[in-house]
């Protein structure tokens, strides 16, 4: 019997591991990611039989691959900054500090500011040596809210946000509760391990909630 689209499971993923880039000059691009973006070169498997470099920081790795074909066959390096191009984005607490560092490195950039109902989001865009777009932003200011009303989806999201603690700023269940749409605040669910029922709003404000509890909708 065919499985309906709604019943199909998503892949059992844990986190983003790495982003891969093909480079004109892997050494030059490695220096850029190390000196400008603060990545740290790490050991690369010796079984890989092609030139490249691995770097890591901020909970993510960058895998650089040396172009195996004629470099001239690669698309030309983009000089014009188009903020709608494919890009890799990093969170920063101070875009002003980012701007000063880019100026020190002599890197051309463009800055954009979004005002979403009083929430100000700063964005800075620039290219790496191969013309790939990099964004530095304060997008974390904008609350992460699921578009559907699934309690399970939101509980998983809260755990994901909580796991970021120490990377930039603390995100607690209490302040995440304030992000809830009104129709979700009163939604109740059961603690299977405890046989009790709580509203989602109360659950998010409860301290010391073990992450391994089972939740039933």
φ and ψ of 131, to 5 deg? 85, 10
Rounded CA gap, 139 and 87, in Å? Answer: 14
Q: Which residues are CB-neighbours of 104 under 8 A, at least 6 positions away?
A: none
- Sheet strands (E) in 10-141: 18-23, 40-42, 52-57, 60-66, 87-91, 110-116, 119-127, 133-137
**Residue 85 gets which letter from DSSP?**
S
How far CA 90 is from CA of 58, 134, 142, 167, 190, in Å, comes to 9, 8, 14, 12, 37
Give the pairing of strands 87-91 and 110-116.
Answer: unpaired
Choose the catalytic residue: 110, 135, 153, 178: 135
Residues in a beta bridge with 126:
134
Would residue 135 show up in a list of annotated catalytic residues for this protein? yes
User: Beta-carbon neighbour count of residue 78 at 10 Å?
Assistant: 13
CB 121 within 8 A of CB 77: no
Please give the positions annotated as active site.
135
């Amino acid at each position: 019997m065919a499985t309906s689209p709604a019943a199909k499971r998503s892949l059992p993923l844990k986190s983003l591991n790495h982003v891969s880039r093909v480079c004109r000059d892997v050494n030059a691009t490695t220096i850029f990611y190390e000196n400008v973006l603060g990545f740290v070169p790490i050991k690369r498997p010796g079984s890989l039989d092609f030139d490249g470099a691995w770097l890591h920081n901020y909970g993510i790795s960058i895998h650089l691959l040396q172009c195996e074909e004629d470099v001239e066959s690669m698309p030309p390096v983009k000089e014009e900054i188009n903020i709608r191009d494919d890009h890799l984005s990093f969170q920063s607490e101070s875009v002003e500090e980012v701007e000063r560092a880019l100026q020190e490195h002599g890197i051309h950039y463009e800055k954009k500011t979004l005002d979403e109902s009083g929430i100000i989001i700063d964005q800075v865009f620039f290219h790496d040596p191969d013309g790939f777009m990099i964004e530095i932003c304060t997008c974390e200011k904008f609350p992460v809210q699921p578009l559907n009303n699934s309690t399970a989806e939101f509980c998983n999201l809260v755990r994901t946000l909580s796991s970021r603690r120490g990377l930039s700023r603390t995100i607690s269940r209490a302040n995440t509760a304030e992000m809830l749409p009104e129709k979700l605040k009163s939604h109740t669910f059961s603690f299977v391990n405890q046989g009790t029922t709580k509203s989602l709003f109360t659950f998010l404000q409860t301290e010391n909630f073990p992450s391994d509890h089972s939740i039933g909708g």
